[in-house]
Amino acid sequence: MAAKPNPRLVIVDPAWSGSVGHHSDVNRQLQQALDAAGWQVEAWADQEAAELGLLWIRPLLHGCGYQDPRHWSDIGGSLHLARRLADQLASGMGPAEQPVTAWLMHTALPYQLMGLARMLNQQPAAQVLISLMFAPGETLEGEAADAVAISNSRLALEALAEACQRQGHKLWIGLPSRQQQELWAPLIKAAELPEGELHAAVVGAGGAAVKPPKGAPKLLLHWGDRKQSKGWLHSLAAVEQLLDQGVPANLRGHGWLFHVHCHAPIPESELQLLERAERQIVGYQLLREAIPQQEMLRRLAGCSAALLAYCPRAYSERSSGILWSYASARRAVGLPAVVVGLAGGWLERESRELGLAWRSALNPSSTGWLKPLAEAIGPSKNSFQLPTRESGAHSESYNELILGQSFAKKIASMLILTWPPK
């Protein structure tokens, strides 16, 4: 008698199109963890993901990723793209194929949730796991809490609720932070869906213990792409201040880490500044290539403090994978994580919720960034430690929940191999 095949799980990720970015990292970790747990894993991704050469990817989708928001910012555009996505997903369901036991979607826009719901209306009962990474008012551009986006998110949840009720799907909704949980709660309740559950950070959490680079500890000035909302100009200003004024006395002995990786070319004037710093500042390191996640965590573990001057308006409801990764890396080596940024927004709240040492720069345009960095790690701040029962059980439990286990392992623990259960 032929062996019974492993149950089939499909990761639906219309935005996965290449090797760079958190989609690639998250999906690879999911595949490894779920394969080890006995699942037959597939990822239905954008056609461009075929270039990765991974046998478990089915590059079925096109034109269904993070499109220009003008295409989906109103309900008409969202419904049009949802139908497109549902039709493409349906093409992956051949009549002779093994039924899907579980569907998984993370980091999805409202129209992508609608498309999944439309497809689920035609599928037999299965487990459906949704991680609501984005806030309900996310538009990927502009201000947070967009009213039309929130309305689209509400309709997406209602569509999921209808599909699950009609076909008998078992739905689990996960949320990556307390703020996201609060923002989604009224919409989830209105759709009469099960209450969303907090889960591990999608990026960076629960990694194996890392060993920081040898040598002096560094201060992180920038990591990631060249976006003004992610503090790019503030990071350049810090480099310029180092060149013009030199390293402050109480920061001597530290190195400096500046990473940038983006598809668009860096303007010549900015590149010259960064390269001049590499020549003239002792202990300054410039990285300009894509860094694998484990290597990123290793380097972040060696940073005593991180400058994350994200725009508090653009990131009032938007999460940061770098914050989670930095906090997780320092947690893995048992050292405090010190974050310097602008007051307000998600980063400050999440840092404080996790029990990190957060310092707001009150007037960086006049004082620069070196002063708050020095104050954050100076002798008066030596008391900052990882969350403990003495420093607050609230932060300790939240830190463990968000950073103590990987997202992939959390998902694996939620699934039932035999479905429906006997």
For residue range 331-377, what is the model confidence (pLDDT) as tens digits? 999 999 999 999 999 999 999 999 999 999 988 988 899 999 999 98
Q: Mean pLDDT over residues 302-331, rounded?
A: 96
For residue range 271-304, what is the model confidence (pLDDT) as tens digits? 999 999 999 999 999 999 989 888 999 999 999 9
3-class secondary structure, 328:
helix
Residue 312 or 262, more confident: 312
How high is the mean pLDDT of the chain?
91
User: Tell me, what's the pLDDT at 1?
Assistant: 52
Q: What angle do CA 383, 388, 392 make, to 5 degrees?
A: 95
3-state secondary structure 40-73: EEEEEEEHHHHHHCCCCEEEEECCCCCCCHHHCC
Sorting pLDDT into bands at 50, 70 and 90, what band is 384? very low
Residue 1 or 328, more confident: 328
Q: Which domains are assigned to the chain?
A: 8-200+406-414 (3.40.50.2000), 218-403 (3.40.50.2000)
Say how far apart CA 187 and CA 129 lie, in whole Å: 17
User: Tell me, what's the pLDDT at 79?
Assistant: 96
Say how far apart CA 374 and CA 188 lie, in whole Å: 44
For residue range 188-216, what is the model confidence (pLDDT) as tens digits? 999 999 999 999 999 889 866 788 888 89
